[in-house]
Chains A and B, each alone.
Chain A
Amino acid sequence: MKLSKGEMMTRRKWLASALMGGGLLLSYGALAVQGLLYVLPEQVKSKTRKLFAGQLSDFHEGKVKALFDLQGNQILVKRQADDLKAYSTVCPHLGCRVQWVESDKQFFCPCHRGVFREDGVAIGGPPADAGQRLAEVPLEVDRAAGVVYIEVKDIKRRS
């Protein structure tokens, strides 16, 4: 089929439609990207603050003591000899809250029956299969003063 002169694609026409199409694509594309950023909230690194956890003498050898962070979540501190460790109660598997079971000396996650040893290492359920452990919460001991601090997420304050 032979095209008439009016229907033929000339260089000028091609350029015009390429610019037009490209321009539309770019501008709507930019709009789409902005829209996507709009629904994905900005990742702000949350501030932390040091919290007074108690006197060193409050933490007894081999015992686990439950503290609370500023959101009311449990943090478990265990003393082994002179070594103190604080563990988050967020299960590394899917984010449920683990509980300390005193009789078994274990942490237990009710969601998928994950079990953790007192040093935070998973020994049962899906977290054990994945070789996970409870996250450690930064802890500081001021031996001179005999005081223990933990570092927790700060709560949002209205200024």
Chain B
Amino acid sequence: MAHADSAVPKKNRAARFAVLFPFDWDSVQHISAEPVPYHLKKWWFCLGGTPMYLFVVQVVTGIALTFYYVPSPDHAYASVAAITQHVRFGWFIRSLHKWSSNLMIVAVFLHMLRVYFTGAYRHPRQLNWLFGFGLLGTTLAFGFTGYSLVYEQLSYWGATVATNLMEAIPLVGPYVAYFMRGGPEVGEQTLTRFFILHIGVLPTVIVVLLALHIVMVRLHGVAEFTFPGDNITEENRFFRFWPEHATTEILIGVLLMYILTILSLIFPAHLGSQANPTVTPEHIKPEWYFYFNFRLLKLTSLNISVVLTLCIGLIALFWPFVETWLQKKFRLPDKASVIIGVVAFMGFLILTVWESFAN
């Protein structure tokens, strides 16, 4: 009986491999050959890829850190200290991880601002705004859980304040807080929970959301913009993903590695004193991306600040739908979103800067 591959000449290795691995490579080429709109020739419209690139850096450096990190209250701080002081290049890996997380949050914010102010979240792309917002939430959760793993004074008390804060969320708050802490107060269980959230649960969530996010971009196509002075013809309206756009992304990646290295060399990750559950330090502060909330806590009462944050978050999450509703109800012009966005962002910025200068 003749085999199916008997027709393939023995010398042709590629063809023989194709028999062993019968995959349709043309379909990959077809899927990846996404037409890229003209405006993406400008690199500042390519910021969506930046958080993803940084996420890859986080995965690699994060796995490297887990080789030495011990998630128990007795050993966590000492293991971080060992990574920082004794492990070869440990300080560098840790600094890369820290700086990449900070840049990732900045990159997500910048990408969101771009999408918001260009109106790219509008019909029919509302769903992808939701997925993107989910990615923002996951990124912030990564930052919070990761920072707490260091188990230094500031991160320990940050975790205490934050989990107590969650308790003030209406209805589900007490359960969420209890789940996060693994008991009525921050203790032995908490660190293990934060660890598994940080390295198991959140990575799964972010990969699923990222896949959905990118599939949606691909299905709808990138929103097209034209600017005065653009000379767009039928021929140059789109350009190829490979190699033109891919080159831009690779260059951004190289630039990011450069920035990360410089930051890690000049400002290596710092290690404060070990967590002491019996003494709260004089000056406590969360990471900068929670400053706005911290300032809000000082300005208003606990319940008001939690409910306010929750409301703003929900409005932002469902903004594409809220805007449509406002437009129908109050004949809100399209441009109103720009003013609302500027006000909201300035509010965030003012609270953040205010908190960073306060002691």
* Contact (Cβ within 8 A) B160 A94: yes
| Contacts of B202-236 to chain A: CB distance below 8 A | none
Residues in B with CB closer than 8 Å to A34 are none
Residues in A with CB closer than 8 Å to B178 are 40-41, 43
Q: Which residue of A lies closest to B178 (CB)?
A: A40
Q: Which of B161, B179, B182 is within 8 Å of A95, CB to CB? A: B161
Complex Cα gap A39–B201 (Å): 13
Residues in B with CB closer than 8 Å to A98 are 280
Query: For the complex, is A65 an interface residue (Cβ under 8 Å from B)?
Result: no
Residues in B with CB closer than 8 Å to A112 are 297-298
* Contact (Cβ within 8 A) B280 A96: yes
Query: For the complex, is A93 an interface residue (Cβ under 8 Å from B)?
Result: yes
Residues in B with CB closer than 8 Å to A130 are 301-303
Q: Which residue of A lies closest to B294 (CB)?
A: A112
* Contact (Cβ within 8 A) B278 A97: yes
Shortest CB distance A76–B (Å): 13
Residues in A with CB closer than 8 Å to B189 are 41
* Contact (Cβ within 8 A) B175 A71: no
Complex Cα gap A39–B180 (Å): 9
Shortest CB distance B73–A (Å): 13
* Contact (Cβ within 8 A) A94 B182: no
Total number of B residues with any Cβ neighbor in A under 8 Å: 28
Query: For the complex, is A53 an interface residue (Cβ under 8 Å from B)?
Result: no
Q: Which of B175, B280, B283, B297 is within 8 Å of A40, CB to CB? A: B175
* Contact (Cβ within 8 A) B298 A97: no
Query: For the complex, is B244 an interface residue (Cβ under 8 Å from A)?
Result: no
* Contact (Cβ within 8 A) A73 B284: no
Complex Cα gap A129–B298 (Å): 11
* Contact (Cβ within 8 A) B278 A111: no
Query: For the complex, is A110 an interface residue (Cβ under 8 Å from B)?
Result: yes
| Contacts of A90-133 to chain B: CB distance below 8 A | 93-99, 109-113, 125-126, 129-130
Shortest CB distance A74–B (Å): 7
| Contacts of B252-299 to chain A: CB distance below 8 A | 277-284, 297-298
Shortest CB distance B112–A (Å): 28
* Contact (Cβ within 8 A) A41 B298: no
Total number of A residues with any Cβ neighbor in B under 8 Å: 24
Evaluate whether A97 and B280 lie within 8 angstroms (CB atoms) in the complex, with A40-B178, A111-B157 already known. yes
Query: For the complex, is A72 an interface residue (Cβ under 8 Å from B)?
Result: yes
Evaluate whether A109 and B302 lie within 8 angstroms (CB atoms) in the complex, with A41-B182, A41-B183, A95-B161 already known. no
Residues in B with CB closer than 8 Å to A41 are 178, 182-183, 189
Using an 8 Å CB-CB cutoff, how does the interface string of A70-90 with B read, 1 for contact, 0 for none?
011110000000000000000
Shortest CB distance A110–B (Å): 5
Residues in A with CB closer than 8 Å to B5 are none
* Contact (Cβ within 8 A) A126 B302: yes
Shortest CB distance B304–A (Å): 9
Complex Cα gap A5–B160 (Å): 65
Q: Which residue of A lies closest to B358 (CB)?
A: A113
Residues in B with CB closer than 8 Å to A73 are 277-278
Q: Which of A71, A72, A96, A126 is within 8 Å of B298, CB to CB? A: A126
Query: For the complex, is B165 an interface residue (Cβ under 8 Å from A)?
Result: yes
Q: Which residue of A lies closest to B282 (CB)?
A: A110
Residues in B with CB closer than 8 Å to A113 are 298
Shortest CB distance A36–B (Å): 9
* Contact (Cβ within 8 A) A96 B161: yes
Residues in B with CB closer than 8 Å to A71 are 277-278
Complex Cα gap A146–B162 (Å): 43
Q: Which residue of A lies closest to B283 (CB)?
A: A110
Query: For the complex, is B341 an interface residue (Cβ under 8 Å from A)?
Result: no
Residues in A with CB closer than 8 Å to B278 are 71-74, 97
Q: Which residue of B lies closest to A44 (CB)?
A: B183
Query: For the complex, is B170 an interface residue (Cβ under 8 Å from A)?
Result: no
Residues in B with CB closer than 8 Å to A97 are 278-280
Most chain B CB within 10 A, of A72, A73, A94, A113, is at A94
Q: Which of B179, B184, B303 is within 8 Å of A43, CB to CB? A: B184
Complex A-B: 16 CB contacts under 8 Å: A39-B179, A40-B179, A71-B277, A73-B277, A96-B161, A97-B278, A97-B279, A109-B280, A110-B280, A110-B283, A110-B284, A113-B298, A126-B297, A126-B300, A126-B302, A129-B300
Which A residues are within 8 Å of any B CB, using their own CB? 39-41, 43, 71-74, 93-99, 109-113, 125-126, 129-130
Further contacts, 14 of them, CB under 8 A, given A43-B184, A94-B161: A40-B178, A40-B179, A43-B178, A95-B161, A95-B164, A95-B185, A96-B161, A97-B278, A110-B283, A111-B280, A126-B297, A126-B301, A129-B300, A130-B303
